[in-house]
Structure 1
Amino acid sequence: MRSPITGIAAGVPFTALPPADDGPAPLIVTWHMLDAPRSDAAFAAAVPMNGLPAWRVHLGMPMCGARMVDGTMDAGLELLRKDVLMAALYPILVQATEEFPAALESIRAQLPVGDGPVGVLGGSLGGAVALRILADNDIPVFAGAVVNAAIRMRSVVGLFPGEYPYVAESEKVADSVDFVAQAATLAGRAPLLVVSGELDHPSLRADALDLVNAVGDGTELLSIPELAHALADEPGIEPAPQLPLAREVDAGLTTWFRRHLADAG
């Protein structure tokens, strides 16, 4: 197993895991959770997908990991307290999505990954990033996967204490991040694996089932017994030994992407 490679791609920090031979190979790009593991390095440790003949490049989400303000989570937590949707979740999602094309171009300039279709993977809010790229971006993708994903933004907002004070703008934003409603766009875009912990938040679990049913052919559900939402122990910023349930998720992701690597060209 090769050592991780760290770097910056168009301003986005990344942790890259090379294939066994360290040479040219297809690319899988990931976005981590806001829960643990909440950095690119920690997500790489939780779901490394070792053994895949592919580069796995784990991108850091805005306001997380190396991009935490003053090296702490305090600023991000303050944004969540100020307005969980409009000051935190949605801006992070938008920025992570919008910075991806330039980051991908930079990764291709730095690593021997070629210009073929990529794989995309996201956990929790990072799952919304992966789904948004599938729904709204024309970058070729050979396969996608999400883990305990933010599929409907209203469900995610509902996990936070208190009743969220929706107004016209936030209603529109929340409705725009509903990938069940965008199932027709996702259908046929790329094969999609939806990983759902059987002990994940009930609303997120229901959304996962709804997404699989709505998208239909080419989409599969992988239920992980005893898995709650997080894939790592707190604080989830630094790389940590892989937890047994994360190992199950990792095995499912590895099998999925290996099945579809032939479509990467």
Structure 2
Amino acid sequence: MGERQTEIVSGVAAGVPFTALPPAVPAGGPAPLVLTWHMIDAPRTDAAFAAALPLAGVPAWRVHLGMPLCGARMADGSMDAVVARAIEDAVLSYAAPFVRQAVDELPAALADLRERLPVDDGPIGVVGGSLGGAVALRVLAERRIPVAAAAVVNAAVRARSLVALIEGLTEQPYRWTDEAAQAAADLDFVARSGDIAGGPAQPPLLLVSGEQDYPTFRADTAELAAALRGRYRRPDDVRLITVPDLAHPLAEPPGVEPAPQLPQATAVDAEITAWFRHHLVSSGRTDHTEESVSDGTT
């Protein structure tokens, strides 16, 4: 286990760029770990997301991971390659491979981070914004990594809603194929609510929806909340909140470099911080998991 860090740590974990923030107060031992995935909208890099949602009140290491082709992995120092992929094929060149790569990279990156940072080996917290929210939801659905608590902000809950949004921006209809339809179904987390809720442990999930977010995203998030509350043994472990005046992004464009926290992002930060202080730290992650496992109802 490495020495306790006192400053922001930037680096690469198993090929994934990251920005890590240590607990404000030393934990007196290995601290919990929260991993995040940023938006493709602003803030669109791990460093910018760390500035928008530092979660400083959570007594845990918050490690903000870079999405594919973003931040240190940008092609030619710009987001043009990401835009080109979205225009080329919103599902098969953009949403599906980005989410799949981010999820597939997680086990090795997590193992590397645990070797380098003074964090414990218990279930982690996960946070995602927009397409990064789809990553967090897929981590929950696949259950390869034990998760103690989760939060998503303006998440891309359904790939088809993301496609419709891109269609509106490009004024070009998407050409659906059987392959694209299957990939989109895999990224429909309302339909996959049974996968999220189907394990013995049902991680508490906070769904944050901006009052001014895209209407389809807001509707999808509300449907996901209802579906999960109907499946969770403790429905209150799924909470949907609306943040006034919050549009889709959490930072001013272009959102590549760290910037001062916007008031709306401050409100989101406070809600997620309270959620993790209760569900990741105060309640005891091991106790919560064991309690879920011991409940034989489904």
* TM-score class, shorter: over 0.9
Aligned partner letter, 1:4: I
- 1:14-53 equivalences under 5 Å are 14-22=18-26, 24-53=30-59
CA-CA distance at 1:138 after TM superposition = 2.8
Of 179, 201, 209 in structure 1, the residue corresponding to residue 214 of structure 2 is 201
- Structure 1 runs of 4+ with >4 Å offset: none
Residue 220 (str. 1) matches residue 220 (str. 2): no
List alignment gaps of at least 5 residues for structure 1. none
Aligned counterpart, 1:264? 285
C-alpha distance in structure 2 between counterparts of 1:37 and 1:9, whole Å: 21
Bigger Rg over Cα = 2
- 1:22-171 equivalences under 5 Å are 22=26, 24-161=30-167, 162-171=172-181
C-alpha distance in structure 2 between counterparts of 1:182 and 1:168, whole Å: 19
TM-score by length of structure 1 reads: 0.97
Aligned partner letter, 1:180: V
Aligned partner letter, 2:284: D
Sequence identity (%)? 56
CA-CA distance at 1:160 after TM superposition = 0.9
Contact 1:26 1:264 in 2 (8 A): no
Deviation per CA, 1:77-127, whole angstroms, max 9, x where unpaired? 221221121111211111000000000000000101110110000000000
C-alpha distance in structure 1 between counterparts of 2:135 and 2:73, whole Å: 17
TM-score by length of structure 2 reads: 0.86
1:14–1:22 CA distance, 2 compared to 1 (3 A): farther
CA-CA distance at 1:22 after TM superposition = 4.7
C-alpha distance in structure 2 between counterparts of 1:30 and 1:42, whole Å: 12
CA-CA distance at 1:263 after TM superposition = 2.9
Aligned counterpart, 2:249? 230
Number of aligned residue pairs: 264
More divergent stretch after superposition (80-89 vs 211-220): 80-89
Of 5, 9, 16 in structure 1, the residue corresponding to residue 9 of structure 2 is 5
Aligned partner letter, 2:49: F
Deviation per CA, 1:150-182, whole angstroms, max 9, x where unpaired? 111101111013321101110111111111111
Contact 2:210 2:247 in 1 (8 A): yes
For residue 239 of structure 2, give the secondary structure of its aligned residue in structure 1: strand
Aligned partner letter, 2:8: P
How much is the aligned-residue C-alpha RMSD, in angstroms?
1.2
